[in-house]
Amino acid sequence: MFYIYCPYCGEHREEEEFHPKGQAHLSRPTDPDACSDEEWGDYLYFRDNPRGLHHEIWVHAIGCRKFFNATRDTQSYEILETYRMGDAPRVTHFTDTQKS
Amino acid sequence: MTQPNRLDNGGRIDRSKHLTFEFNGRRYKGFSGDTLASALLANGVDVIGRSFKYSRPRGIVAAGAEEPNAVFQLGATEATQVPNVRATQQELFNGLVSQPTSGWPNLQFDFLGVFGSILGRMLPPGFYYKTFMFPQAAWETYEKYIRKAAGLGRSPRDPDVDTYDHLNQHTDVLIVGAGPAGLSAALSAARSGARVILADEQAEMGGALLDSRETLNGKPASNWVRDALKELSGYDNVLLLPRATVNGYHDHNFLTIHERRTDHLGDRAPANQSRQRLHRVRAKWVILATGAHERPLVYGNNDLPGCMLASAVSTYINRYAVAPGRRLVLMTTNDNAYRAAFDWQDAGREVVAIVDTRAYADGAWQDEANRRGIKLLKGHAVIDAQGKMRVTGAVVAGLNTDGTQLTGKGEVLNCDTLASSGGWSPAVHLSCHTGSRPVWDDDVIGFVPGKTVQKQLTAGAVTGCFSLADCLADGARIGAEAATNAGFNAEPAAAPSVRCRPETRPMALFCVPHYKPNSRAPKQFVDFQTDVTAAGIELATREGFESIEHVKRYTAMGFGTDQGKLGNINGMAVAAKSLNQSIPETGTTIFRPNYTPVTFGAIAGRHCNDLFEPKRYSAMHEWHVEHGALFEEVGQWKRPWYFPKPNESMQQALDRECLATRNSVGILDASTLGKIDIQGKDAREFIGRIYTNAWAKLAVGKCRYGLMCKEDGMVFDDGVTSCLAEDHFLMTTTTGGAAGVLEWLEFYHQTEWPELEVYMNTVTDHWATMTIAGPNARKLLSELTDDIDLDRDNFKFMDWRQGTVAGVPARVFRISFTGELSYEINVQANYGLHVWEKLFEHGAKYDLTPYGTETMHILRAEKGFIIAGQDTDGSVHPYDLGMSWAVKEDKPFSFIGKRGMKREDCVRDNRKQLVGLKTKDPSIVLPEGAQAVDNPNHPKPVPMLGHVTSSYYSANLGRSIAMGVIKNGHKRMGETVHYPLVDGRVVEAEICSTIFLDPKGERQNV
């Protein structure tokens, strides 16, 4: 069970309080009607499935109800950072010591 | 009754406390301080079970968690049955009742044994796959008897009478194992002021020190243990948890500890005490001081009762004053196991011989054996145990230096106990739980914990350090390191001085060779619990299973409840040899939680019965109960399903409720519908982006129905939203969808449109909602309000008004899910019952009839109103539902779902569309889920057109009605489709409009 730092509450809380919401930093196309079926299909269904760093959205569902982002190693499950919606991740690649 | 194997002196048992217990229907005696296993051994009970596959007699092998055979069913009553208890870990108490879990029909005479010669051929590795799968239908018969004969224990048929607790713990340092390393670590960490939890699976802390004859600081080791525990228990920052197994090591240093608080006291817990606790620990740092398990050697008939681990022999003698036999032969690959022979001799029993597989063994231990006059056979091995129900002899032969071949002829040594030691395997189980792969170490001759991502350290024998002095020093150092890492100033505690005796290096030997190839030699067992032999593993590799994970699955090695604690390394060694590769090349299997079996009681804790799941009740719930309602679960809500009168069938009750509503007035408790309060200057814009229809012009005081889609264009919720003020709306959702919809709204607001100023919150529980529907609804309501103008033209359909109902503030919505004149009265939840009862006071003269969810479903289906989640399933868009009127495509903002429902697949022909269905025989109610076909006589597979989504008998129409999806259904009005049912009938139905009653909507416009 994960131990997740909510960047809004400023505390580590148990995973039971959170829901995962998938890949982060996806933007809804500004003009959906101008998208081809393929572009819209990519937005709807296609997600990264990396072995390693993954930026993903979580919501503090049984808490402050805020959505935020986490950078997680999908291999070790280590959460390297959490950050507020709209912020950019600081961890974008492994340092040597983090490599699992 | 005598205990023939009990020694006169010694042990950590209390001889003044006599205990009586029962095993397999017979009564025995033991002492306080015994385990069930030590007491059985004291009583000379040799056979304690039958093996899984070959039904061979089995005895106790080990003294701890690794015991594969003595796995019992405990419990004096049906309600206190506990399966899967290892006798070696169960403390004895007075009145304990235990049963072997294997050995049907009984221990001495067994079914598989008699048919063994026939069945033996049927039971090679993979026998499940090879033998019992054909014919498939017979598997159910096979399984029943195999399970019964194999003895996997059984669950109690009566509810558990005990209570179990969950405890959440946070700590700086969690130390797993209170042996020499763990205790030293705890002293270092505790002295720094760090919060420390020290957990150990045994009743007494001390681990190997409790049965050791070593001295620490010149005194018995147990004295040092006592002093250390005394110091630790004096610290407020230390929690000592004996009888507590750390069973799982999960992500982010989350560990579960299974503490057995009263299992040693009696069949059930004393009053007001929980039987077990599950500690859920979040630790800053974890120290694994889990020790090591001794590895038995693999040789012919090594499963005979009387074959034991060398260290177990020492433990039973020193800790429990039990010598489990008279004449011992010890086979060993290392010096450490010599202790067993010396302990045996000191207990006054005969050591027939020490059989050392090393020709080169020549040091202090061998000197002592010579001094004691013990026959020492170096460069020899036991190749075969003799005996039927217990060891009577050991066949010993010379062994070449690398342990691959026998030299010379065998000789028979008479003995009744055959102890063996192949060295020690570090207990890497918890380390493996974290995903860390163990690493082979040639010096250790075993796997040690691999690299970890957790904040975790290891100390003592688990690291492959087997000398007592090193374990104590290592523990002290690691304890200080963990506390320092957790932010404390810690120094290693001074380690006590230990008398060290140098050891000659051990030999890497796992399976003793035989004169015959393994496939023809007497059975050499690797995994006792699953009856896997060396020959079986070799056969698996010959059949092409080269990955150790495949070998494991094919042979079932390590699949028992012991997860192969004794046998796995030996099995890997056999596989490696057979594949002509090294053990590290062969790799290892991974242990998974839990380390030892955990009771369901501990896992469930208090989350059972009423506390299994939260239940939600409306403010009028008690009234419903008093008026005989039957309830339906909708999410967590308990909703009245229908209100039968005495002697009324369900259909009769539904008919009555439906007719009363359409003919006069009915009332529904609608409190459970999700209600979301939405405010802010951009609330209207926000709602317009979420719903498919138009919201720009909805005036204050008006309500509107809306459909909510996902981005793929598929309907996922619906409901009525009312405009309370220019910047204030009240959205209603389906009962089950409420939480999901709120999260959905928040997701879009927070991640896509944070620039919109909008705030939302759930107000579902704030309001009690009662719907009165029927031609007399207005008359009834007018008796209870004098400040709301109910005139049909002043308070129109799809209006809402604020006012007073039954003397309390209310919002009244003129909306309708029945097609009748209908008002939804919302009052503060606390007033709900009051208003409800007032309505009945005044409603008696109108035959006001309460109805439940089932009548609500029928009434709405008569009108063709959908239920999201019943008539939709995530693959249905608004056009499929025939609800294009609810989609406003020219809204300036491309609302959620708009682009999705324009995808190629969404605009193609032949989509499944929602239609009404009338059976040709009006008395037949189609089953929901039935599939439509055009031609039931079409050769199989018959093309399917779609399924029935809603189906009822309508008393108002005097016939059955149904809705369902049909390919291209909107263009097939009036056509006939066929529904072949499971019972062989084929029901004909005509495709029609979904609106069965009052198509012009005149009933609600009165």
Question: pLDDT tens for residues B380-405?
Answer: 999 999 999 999 999 999 999 999 99
Q: Which amino acid is at B845?
A: K
Are B302 and B355 contained in the same domain?
Answer: yes
- Average pLDDT (B153-160) is 90
| B214 — pLDDT class (breaks 50, 70, 90) | confident
Which class for B679: exposed (0-12), middle (13-18), buried (19 or more C-beta within 10 A)?
A: middle
Reading phi first (left if > 0) and then psi (alpha if -120 to 50, else beta), residue B464 is in left
Any B CB within 8 A of A57 CB: yes
Instruction: Please say if the pLDDT value at position A56 is more than 50.
Output: yes
Are B345 and B258 contained in the same domain?
Answer: no
Whether residues A85 and B754 touch (CB distance < 8 A) is answered with yes
- Per-residue pLDDT of B218-234, as tens digits, reads 999 999 999 999 999 99
Domain count, chain B: 4
- Asked if residue B733 lies in contact with residue B676, where contact means CB atoms within 8 angstroms, the answer is yes
* Secondary structure of residue B526 in the 3-state scheme: strand
Instruction: Please say if the pLDDT value at position B454 is more than 70.
Output: yes
Instruction: Please say if the pLDDT value at position B110 is more than 70.
Output: no
Are B85 and B110 contained in the same domain?
Answer: yes
- Asked if residue B75 lies in contact with residue B157, where contact means CB atoms within 8 angstroms, the answer is no
Mutate to test the interface with A, among B251, B692, B748 (most CBs of A within 10 A): B251
Are B274 and B399 contained in the same domain?
Answer: no
What is residue B107's predicted lDDT score, i.e. its pLDDT? 57
Nearest to B904 among A37, A44, A77 (CB): A37
Question: Got the DSSP string for B571-591?
Answer: HHHHHHHHTTS-HHHH-----
Which class for A49: exposed (0-12), middle (13-18), buried (19 or more C-beta within 10 A)?
A: exposed
What is residue B146's predicted lDDT score, i.e. its pLDDT? 58
- Per-residue pLDDT of B604-615, as tens digits, reads 999 998 999 999
Could you give the CA distance from residue B71 to residue B55 in angstroms, rounded to a whole number?
Answer: 15
Rounded to the nearest angstrom, the minimum Cα separation between B900 and chain A is 8
Domain boundary residue, one of B839, B859, B879: B859
Domain boundary residue, one of B556, B586, B616: B586
Whether A42 is in a domain gets the answer no
Pairing of strands B525-527, B26-32: unpaired
**Which neighbouring-strand residues pair with B703?**
B722
- Asked if residue B426 lies in contact with residue B448, where contact means CB atoms within 8 angstroms, the answer is yes
Residue in A closest to B902 by C-alpha:
A37
Mutate to test the interface with A, among B250, B742, B750, B896 (most CBs of A within 10 A): B750
**Which neighbouring-strand residues pair with A47?**
none
Instruction: Please say if the pLDDT value at position B139 is more than 90.
Output: no
What CATH number corresponds to the domain at position B105? 3.10.20.440
Any A CB within 8 A of B899 CB: yes
- Per-residue pLDDT of B178-196, as tens digits, reads 999 999 999 999 999 999 9
Q: 10 Å Cβ neighbour count for B405? A: 12
Whether A16 is in a domain gets the answer yes
Mutate to test the interface with B, among A4, A11, A44, A73 (most CBs of B within 10 A): A44
What is residue B590's predicted lDDT score, i.e. its pLDDT? 83
| A94 — pLDDT class (breaks 50, 70, 90) | confident
Cα B27 to its chain centre, rounded Å, is 36
- Average pLDDT (A56-75) is 97
* Secondary structure of residue B991 in the 3-state scheme: strand
Are B318 and B463 contained in the same domain?
Answer: no
Q: 10 Å Cβ neighbour count for B760? A: 20
Question: Which residues does chain B have within 8 Å of residue A39's beta carbon, measured at their own beta carbons?
Answer: none
Rounded to the nearest angstrom, the minimum Cα separation between B453 and chain A is 7
Are B563 and B709 contained in the same domain?
Answer: no
Residue-number span of the structural domain to which B344 is assigned = 294-422+505-586
Whether B660 is in a domain gets the answer no
Question: Which run of H or of E encompasses B129?
Answer: helix B127-130
What CATH number corresponds to the domain at position B431? 3.50.50.60
| B780 — pLDDT class (breaks 50, 70, 90) | very high
Whether B495 is in a domain gets the answer no
- Asked if residue B945 lies in contact with residue B932, where contact means CB atoms within 8 angstroms, the answer is yes
Cα B40 to its chain centre, rounded Å, is 33
Whether B600 is in a domain gets the answer no
**One-letter-per-residue 3-state SS of B821-874:** CEEEEEEEHHHHHHHHHHHHHHHHHHCCEECCHHHHHHHHHHCCCCCCCCCCCC
What is residue B126's predicted lDDT score, i.e. its pLDDT? 62
Question: Which residues does chain A have within 8 Å of residue B754's beta carbon, measured at their own beta carbons?
Answer: 85-86
Instruction: Please say if the pLDDT value at position B826 is more than 50.
Output: yes
Domain boundary residue, one of B843, B859, B875: B859
Instruction: Please say if the pLDDT value at position B114 is more than 70.
Output: no
Are B250 and B387 contained in the same domain?
Answer: no
What CATH number corresponds to the domain at position A15? 3.30.2270.10
Could you give the CA distance from residue B199 to residue A83 in angstroms, rounded to a whole number?
Answer: 36
What CATH number corresponds to the domain at position B745? 3.30.1360.120
CA angle B348, B350, B355 (to 5 degrees): 135
Q: Which amino acid is at B297?
A: L
**One-letter-per-residue 3-state SS of chain A:** CCEEEECCCCEEEEHHHCEEEEECCCCCCCCHHHCCHHHHHHHHHCCCCCCCEEEEEEECCCCCCCEEEEEEECCCCCEEEEEECCCCCCCCCCCCCCCC
- Per-residue pLDDT of B256-315, as tens digits, reads 999 999 999 999 999 999 999 999 999 999 999 999 999 999 999 999 999 999 999 999
End-to-end Cα spacing for chain A: 19
Whether A34 is in a domain gets the answer no
- Asked if residue B691 lies in contact with residue B771, where contact means CB atoms within 8 angstroms, the answer is no
Whether B957 is in a domain gets the answer no
- Which residues, 6+ apart, have CB-to-CB distance to B271 below 8 Å? none
Could you give the CA distance from residue B990 to residue B915 in angstroms, rounded to a whole number?
Answer: 10
Which class for B740: exposed (0-12), middle (13-18), buried (19 or more C-beta within 10 A)?
A: middle
The CB-side HSE value for B569 (13 A sphere, CA atoms) comes to 28
Could you give the CA distance from residue B246 to residue B248 in angstroms, rounded to a whole number?
Answer: 6
Nearest to B899 among A35, A85, A86 (CB): A35
Residue-number span of the structural domain to which A10 is assigned = 1-27+48-92
Whether residues B894 and A33 touch (CB distance < 8 A) is answered with yes
Whether B922 is in a domain gets the answer no
Which class for B701: exposed (0-12), middle (13-18), buried (19 or more C-beta within 10 A)?
A: middle
Read off the tokens for B640: 């009245």
Instruction: Please say if the pLDDT value at position B770 is more than 50.
Output: yes
Q: 10 Å Cβ neighbour count for B410? A: 17
Read off the tokens for B148: 């019964």
Whether B608 is in a domain gets the answer no
What is residue B136's predicted lDDT score, i.e. its pLDDT? 60
- Which residues, 6+ apart, have CB-to-CB distance to B318 below 8 Å? B10, B11, B210, B211, B212, B213, B343
Report phi then psi at B735, rounded to 5.
Answer: -60, -45
Stretch among B60-69, B115-124, B510-519 having the lowest mean pLDDT? B115-124
Distances from the Cα of B615 to the Cα of B618, B637, B767, B869, angstroms: 10, 6, 17, 21
What is residue B105's predicted lDDT score, i.e. its pLDDT? 47
Whether B415 is in a domain gets the answer yes
Question: Got the DSSP string for B375-438?
Answer: -EEETEEEEEEEESSSEEEEEEEEE-TTSSSEEEEEEEEE-SEEEEE--EEE--HHHHHTTPPP
Whether residues B894 and A35 touch (CB distance < 8 A) is answered with no
| B151 — pLDDT class (breaks 50, 70, 90) | low
Any B CB within 8 A of A13 CB: no
> pLDDT over 70 for what percent of chain A?
95
- Which residues, 6+ apart, have CB-to-CB distance to B858 below 8 Å? B654, B658, B952, B953, B954
Nearest to B899 among A27, A33, A86 (CB): A33
- Which residues, 6+ apart, have CB-to-CB distance to B929 below 8 Å? B947, B948
Read off the tokens for B86: 């290892």
Nearest to A65 among B746, B903, B904 (CB): B746
Instruction: Please say if the pLDDT value at position B963 is more than 70.
Output: yes
What is residue A100's predicted lDDT score, i.e. its pLDDT? 46
Residue in A closest to B282 by C-alpha:
A3
Instruction: Please say if the pLDDT value at position B907 is more than 90.
Output: yes
Read off the tokens for B61: 């092998």
Are B459 and B559 contained in the same domain?
Answer: no
Are B708 and B841 contained in the same domain?
Answer: yes
Size of interface A-B (CB pairs under 8 A): 62
Q: What angle, rounded to 10 degrees, do the helices at B221-233 and B180-191 form?
A: 30
Strand locations in B189-344 (E): 196-199, 215-216, 219-220, 238-241, 244-250, 254-260, 276-288, 292-294, 307-309, 327-332
Cα torsion angle, B917, B919, B923, B925, sign: negative
- Average pLDDT (B831-837) is 98
Instruction: Please say if the pLDDT value at position B968 is more than 80.
Output: yes
| B961 — pLDDT class (breaks 50, 70, 90) | very high
Could you give the CA distance from residue B24 to residue B104 in angstroms, rounded to a whole number?
Answer: 12
CA-closest candidate to residue B690, choices B712, B720, B705, B710: B710
Whether B958 is in a domain gets the answer no
Domain count, chain A: 1
What is residue B782's predicted lDDT score, i.e. its pLDDT? 98
Rg (CA), chain B: 38
- Asked if residue B812 lies in contact with residue B769, where contact means CB atoms within 8 angstroms, the answer is no
Any A CB within 8 A of B898 CB: yes
Distances from the Cα of B717 to the Cα of B446, B507, B731, angstroms: 58, 70, 11
Mean pLDDT of chain B: 94
Q: Which amino acid is at B670?
A: A
Instruction: Please say if the pLDDT value at position B104 is more than 60.
Output: no
Strand locations in B623-691 (E): 630-634, 637-642, 666-669, 674-679
Instruction: Please say if the pLDDT value at position B197 is more than 90.
Output: yes
Question: Which residues does chain B have within 8 Å of residue A28's beta carbon, measured at their own beta carbons?
Answer: 711, 752
**Which neighbouring-strand residues pair with B22?**
B27, B97
Question: Which residues does chain B have within 8 Å of residue A57's beta carbon, measured at their own beta carbons?
Answer: 751
Instruction: Please say if the pLDDT value at position B500 is more than 90.
Output: no
What percent helix, strand, coil does chain B show, rounded to 5?
Answer: 25, 30, 45
Pairing of strands B446-448, B439-441: antiparallel
- Average pLDDT (B134-154) is 61
Mutate to test the interface with A, among B166, B171, B174, B252 (most CBs of A within 10 A): B252
CA-closest candidate to residue B304, choices B401, B420, B160: B420
